[in-house]
Homo-oligomer: A and B are copies of this chain.
Amino acid sequence: MEGDGGGAAVGETYRRYWEDFHPGETLSYGEKRVTREEIVEFAREFDPQPFHLDDAAGAATHFGGLVASGWQSCGFAMRMLVDHVLRDSTSMGSPGVKSLRWLKPVRPGDTLHMHQTTLSTARHPHRRDIGFVNSRFEMLNQHDAVVLRMESGGMFLLRHPEAP
């Protein structure tokens, strides 16, 4: 916490509170370059299916080559979200995801970036200090093709919990 100041002040880091998310606004950020090594390393730990581990095995499937685990794609999106939005915010985590689509494979050498659109905001039904932000996230590759689309909710502290 940095006192009760709103927005950026001189010599002070901007900190995003619940009140700073506005339905219809889009934030664009990233990038993340994907390497073969990190695809295989993640797959060994969390998703050891052949098409996430081996070029030839991937080439033998409809993927046509080595592809990242969908859960690693979520991790790439999350890291960009943290670096560009959540790190300087009052984020209190997320209750869950409404929908999540892996629309195109993520491959070694891809460079990813993000668009995040605020869909709606709401106060917590019981806690005056917390609010929900419902957002649509799209992660795109270097060809501007959407590889992942997700609608999910985040919780943030309010700057003015006393407000009606």
Contacts and interface: CB of A to CB of B under 8 A. Distances in A.
Interface of A: 45-49, 51, 61-63, 67, 69-71, 74-76, 78-79, 82, 86-87, 91-102
A71 B75 contact: yes
Contacts of A96: 70, 99-102
Majority SS at the chain A contact face = mixed
A94 B98 contact: no
Contact of A61 (B92, B98, B100): B92
Nearest to A79: B46
Contacts of A71: 71, 74-75, 78
28 contacts: A45-B79, A46-B76, A46-B78, A46-B79, A47-B75, A47-B78, A47-B82, A49-B82, A49-B86, A49-B87, A49-B91, A61-B92, A63-B93, A69-B78, A70-B93, A70-B96, A71-B74, A71-B75, A71-B78, A74-B74, A95-B101, A95-B102, A96-B100, A96-B102, A97-B97, A97-B100, A97-B101, A99-B99
A102 B102 CA distance: 19
A101 B49 CA distance: 24
B69 A46 contact: no
A147 to B, nearest CB: 12
Contacts of A78: 46-47, 69, 71
Contacts of A91: 49
Contacts of A87: 48-49
